[in-house]
Chain A
Amino acid sequence: MTKGFRIAFRFSIVAIAAIAAILMASVILWMIGADVSDTFYIIIFQPLTNMLHLSEVLIRAIPLCIIALGISVAYRSGIINIGAEGQMAMGLLAFTGVALAFPDVPRPLLLPLAMIASMIGGGVWGFIPGILKAKLNVSELLSTVMLNYIAAQFYSLCLRTIYLDPAEQVYGTGTPQSMRLTENIWLGRISGRLHYGIIIALVLAVLIYILMWKTTIGYKMRASGSGARAARYGGISVGFYLAASMAISGAFAGFAGGVELAGVHRRAIEGITNNYGFSGVVVALFGGLHPFGIIPASFLFGLLIYGSTLAPSQVGVPANIVQVMQGIIIIVIVTAQMVLSNTYFQDRVWRKYQALRKKEG
């Protein structure tokens, strides 16, 4: 098989996949009577045209990236964390709690303290399903989803009771939100609403790379995930690393909540988690469970999420339809990845191609 053929093969598969995705999405848009080309332009290219749009895309990529990094750690250790949504909520609560409790502590002390609190909040929420799985073999799919519900309701409850902005009570608007948090926990902004969380996310990606591939802890986690039985036979305490990986995973989700609060919202309101916990799973898988794949993947998904907010106002396409299109794109890309990794198929195409050439020559 020549190198040229391999490149041509990959390129044609990707091209076919892209065309298929565009065609399917176009049919849907055409059925609801939208302007097909305008819609594509709005959701895919317009966000890249100016700094304001671009920074909005990046803002959404930051929590996605941090959460996906955590999920990749758990996934590689053999446990599927779909509880990042709840872990993020617990991180938000812990962060807000510290900020409300110590408004006068100076920034160099308070900001790290609140960030650590958010990690602990999420970490504990991740550790629970981890230890349940390790000790009692409770399915993490069950426990993480259930803990998501608990966290969401608990978050909601706190916003309406102990965290409720005193001003809201005075004016009686009753919006469930905390007061604006002290400036001592704000993260600085680079441009527009884009905050320094982006640097944090990139640094974390490098740290995760080092943890998973350069340390003995990472080695043991990966061994537990790729062959639990062999790891146990090799003297690795699989249960311990399972629980630890879930604690790390939860801590990342909680930390993503803290960064989101400190950088963007600066007060606890409903809807901050914004399904990032679930999108994070897709981003992690899409990025090949590798930090350097997760970075571009989170940018892509940030783009799609932001695009879906633009579409309703600019071309009158409901956000739901944009989500349907996202679903199609994801399925097509995943399918293309599977085809590309099937060397047997590639081999067959190569032989057909050679047979064709022989006939002509």
Chain B
Amino acid sequence: MDNRIRSLKMEHITKRFPGVLASDDISISVGEGEVLALVGENGAGKTTLMNILMGLYQPDEGRILINDQPVRFRGPEDAFKAGLGMVHQTYMLVPNMTVTENVALGYRNTGKKRYDIKEVRKRIEEVSSQYELLVNPDAYIWQLSVGEQQKVELVKTLCLGARFLILDEPTSALTPQEVDELIVLLQRMTKELSIIFISHKLQEVKALSDKVTILRHGKVVFSGNTSEHSPQEIAAKMTGHEIILPRNAGSAKAGATVLSVENAVVMSDRKIPALNGLNLEIRAGEIVGLAGVSGNGQRELAEAINGLRKTESGRIVFLGEDIANCSPREIIDRGMGYIPEERNTEGIVPPFSIKENFVLKDIASPSFSSNGFVNGKKIDSTAEKLVSRFDIRCPGIDTAAGSLSGGNIQKVILAREIERKPKFLVAVYPTRGLDMGAVEFIHSELLKIRESGIGILLISEELDEIMNLSDRIAVIYKGVIQKVLDKNEATRERLGILMAGVKEE
């Protein structure tokens, strides 16, 4: 049976959500062995379009053609049967099951009545040798790194018979080395498969794709061959204007030490040490970038500094006083600012309005309340001021903060922290998942804070972000600082090697 997918087309797809036109007359087409990059800012409609392709949503208008035959997917099962497979941004794997068991789980959707685990295993071995995707079928998912988990996802999708791959931001959680590996891997796979991948990282788009389609506000604004356009051109088309990310050009004018972490030992949620005697010093008016693959103690460090996690031993000295194991309230009152990792659950109270979120840390301060009664007028006027100063796009200050886009939520958090006039700021993945416009804004705000003489600990996985903003770069690996580099000494390669745990001579 010839079940190859020689061409896949989506024609005139339109999809409305309440108050939003998520897809507006979008057409794309992918031929056999082609790689299409679907590029656009957050909220441009990339994921919606792919969810329509996978049958998760029904389009209001338009149709999907495979090999020039119209098809209708009522659900993901139909899409699987037609040979489409999607790897989501967050992996859908059960951590306490083995690779084989996870793949076997997926078999339910293929319509087979029963599966025997040996057969699944054989299939995994076939697939991994065919595509040189090396995975250990008996490893538990929780033992694997993020990069390995992604390979498992790919193997799973291929085992289920996918002949057309859809990858949603496949590199967002990988180290630079892993990204390079993945690109090589995917290039090899294109001999037998077609791929659509969603991304907003232009280097990958250039390296991997044959064609590129750019979406903005639910519309196709550009479609063409990747090789004929420079990354700058694509970036400009994506945002609608030229974006030049600000850089930390200032010379180091760092002052006295504001925060110093001394021999800190902190446990992770699994009760194993996440920080093993970590030492780090940050001075006023400098940005120290903490580079590292996530899961090497970044979260635990940020939480320990903010009093949200117990420090087993060691000291955290803030403005000359040990704040290890102080309550979050005390640390906030001493002037610590914090942009937490999970902006939706840790940074804001989602059902609360924007104005209520602005005063989350200061409701009891005399500026917003007196004798225990809140001062509504003061809160309103502050909120109006912050919304316009930080250009937060929202229907009004009474809008639920959780209904805003990621970039605007981050602006709400940033506005709150800056308005408090902190003496130090811990920023954890401040631009993760944000589009270029929002990244530009947040970066320039962080640089402004630095200019005003405040120290910043910037935790990030994005090397570009760290290299653009930091005065000094510390590399964390397995709970200790591998090395602290001056910004002039740091190169992508050097950082990548340090992040992978290789010690320098």
Contacts and interface: CB of A to CB of B under 8 A. Distances in A.
A220 to B, nearest CB: 7
Interface stretch (A107-115, A198-206, A224-232): A224-232
Contacts of A230: 345-350, 360
B340 A347 contact: no
B355 to A, nearest CB: 11
Interface string B368-390: 01001110100000000000000
A216 B374 contact: yes
Nearest to B328: A235
A219 B376 CA distance: 12
A216 B363 contact: yes
A233 B338 contact: yes
A232 B327 CA distance: 10
A219 B359 CA distance: 10
Interface in B332-375: 332-333, 338, 340, 342, 345-352, 356, 359-361, 363-364, 369, 372-374
Contacts of B327: 235, 237
Nearest to B307: A235
Interface in A183-242: 214-217, 219-220, 222-223, 226-227, 229-237
A2 interface: no
Given A216-B374, A219-B374, A226-B351, A233 B363 contact: no
Contacts of A217: 372
Nearest to B60: A351
Contacts of A235: 327-329, 331-333, 361
Contact of A233 (B16, B19, B306, B373): B306
Contacts of A313: none
Contact of A231 (B19, B360, B374, B376): B360
B429 to A, nearest CB: 15
Nearest to B329: A235
Nearest to B345: A229
Contacts of A37: none
A303 to B, nearest CB: 32
B18 interface: yes
Contacts of A351: 16
A231 B360 CA distance: 7
Size band of the interface chain B makes with A? 20 to 34
A347 B338 CA distance: 40
Contacts of B369: 215-216
A343 interface: yes
Contact of A232 (B328, B348, B363): B328
Contacts of A227: 345, 348-352
B361 A214 contact: no
B352 A226 contact: yes
A230 B413 CA distance: 11
A171 interface: no
A214 B371 CA distance: 11
Contacts of A220: 363-364
A145 to B, nearest CB: 27
Most B Cβ at <10 Å: residue of A215, A230, A232, A237: A230
Contacts of B329: 235-237
Contacts of A347: 16-19
Contacts of A234: 328, 332, 349, 360-361
Given A215-B373, A215-B374, A233-B308, A344 B349 contact: no
Contacts of B351: 226-227
B209 to A, nearest CB: 34
Given A216-B369, A217-B372, A226-B352, A233 B346 contact: yes
A214 B373 contact: yes
Contacts of B347: 230, 233
B18 A233 contact: no
A234 B401 CA distance: 15
Contacts of B19: 343, 347
Nearest to A227: B349
B328 A216 contact: no
A232 B308 contact: yes
Given A233-B308, A237-B329, A343-B18, A223 B360 contact: yes
B435 to A, nearest CB: 23
A179 B19 CA distance: 65
A233 B374 contact: no
A16 B348 CA distance: 39
A36 to B, nearest CB: 40
Contacts of B349: 223, 226-227, 230-231, 234
Contacts of B332: 234-235
B84 to A, nearest CB: 26
Contact of A344 (B17, B306, B333, B363): B17
Interface string A307-348: 000000000000000000000000000000000000110110
Contacts of A237: 327, 329
A343 B17 CA distance: 9
B360 A216 contact: no
A131 B14 CA distance: 53
| Max chain B C-beta neighbours (<10 A), residue from A226, A227, A343 | A227
Q: Which of B329, B338, B349 has the most CB of A within 10 A?
A: B349
A343 to B, nearest CB: 4
Contacts of A232: 308, 328
B404 to A, nearest CB: 14
Interface centre among A216, A234, A237, by most chain B C-beta atoms within 10 angstroms, is A234
Contacts of B17: 344, 347
Interface in A224-283: 226-227, 229-237
Nearest to A343: B18
B68 to A, nearest CB: 30
A227 B331 CA distance: 20
Interface in B20-42: none
B128 to A, nearest CB: 39
B346 to A, nearest CB: 5
A65 to B, nearest CB: 25
Nearest to A220: B363
Contacts of B350: 226-227, 230
A4 B350 CA distance: 31
Most buried by B among A216, A231, A232, A343: A216
Contacts of A226: 349-352
B428 to A, nearest CB: 11
Contacts of B360: 223, 230-231, 234, 236
Contacts of B306: 233
Contacts of B373: 214-216
B340 to A, nearest CB: 6
Interface in B446-485: none
23 contacts: A216-B369, A216-B374, A219-B374, A220-B363, A226-B349, A226-B351, A226-B352, A227-B349, A227-B351, A229-B345, A230-B350, A230-B360, A232-B308, A233-B306, A233-B347, A234-B328, A235-B331, A235-B332, A236-B360, A237-B327, A237-B329, A344-B17, A347-B17
Interface of B: 16-19, 306, 308, 327-329, 331-333, 338, 340, 342, 345-352, 356, 359-361, 363-364, 369, 372-374, 376
Given A216-B372, A234-B361, A235-B327, 11 more contacts: A214-B376, A216-B374, A223-B349, A226-B352, A227-B349, A227-B352, A231-B349, A233-B346, A234-B349, A235-B328, A237-B327
Report the 10 A-B pairs with minimum CB-CB distance, sorted nearest first: A227-B349, A234-B360, A235-B329, A235-B332, A343-B18, A226-B351, A347-B18, A230-B349, A235-B328, A233-B346
